[in-house]
Amino acid sequence: MSTGHLGGAARYGLPGLMAGLVLAWWCGGHGPTARAQGMAPASESNGTIAFTSPANGSSSQMLYLIDTRSQAFAVYRVEPGNPKGTGTVKLEAARQYRYDLKLSEFNNQPPEVSSIEAMVKSMAK
């Protein structure tokens, strides 16, 4: 990895992470810190989880906020702007996932869940 890439990640990742932590803290208290595989440290507070990741092919960061109580999430793109920190935040997506979790499968590659279930049941006999 080049040192320029690491400098950009530190320069632009930190503001996104801080924004997520501030939003999580503002939503109600200080929570424990967890680490998602391959992602920036996550922060959980009062049912809200916040973490960031680099956006593919750009200097921007993605900020993810997940509200486990209302089963909803939002994804923001944080553009760094100039070195003085005057960037932008754009809402990319928001969704309530409560009903998504009630599906047994959707838009998956084969083998389907029903095929695996049938295979396991036939092997048990």
CA 70 to CA 94: how far, in whole Å?
A: 12
pLDDT in tens, 92-109: 999 999 999 999 889 999
Q: Which helix (H) or strand (E) holds 52?
A: strand 48-54
- Residue position matching structure tokens 């999580």: 24
CA 68 to CA 94: how far, in whole Å?
A: 14
Whether 44 and 62 have beta carbons less than 8 Å apart is answered as no
Domains of the chain, residue spans: 3-97
CA 53 to CA 41: how far, in whole Å?
A: 9
pLDDT in tens, 43-88: 778 899 999 999 888 888 999 999 999 999 999 999 887 776 678 9
- Name 96's Cβ contacts closer than 8 Å, sequence gap at least 6: 70, 71, 72
pLDDT in tens, 4-15: 444 554 455 545
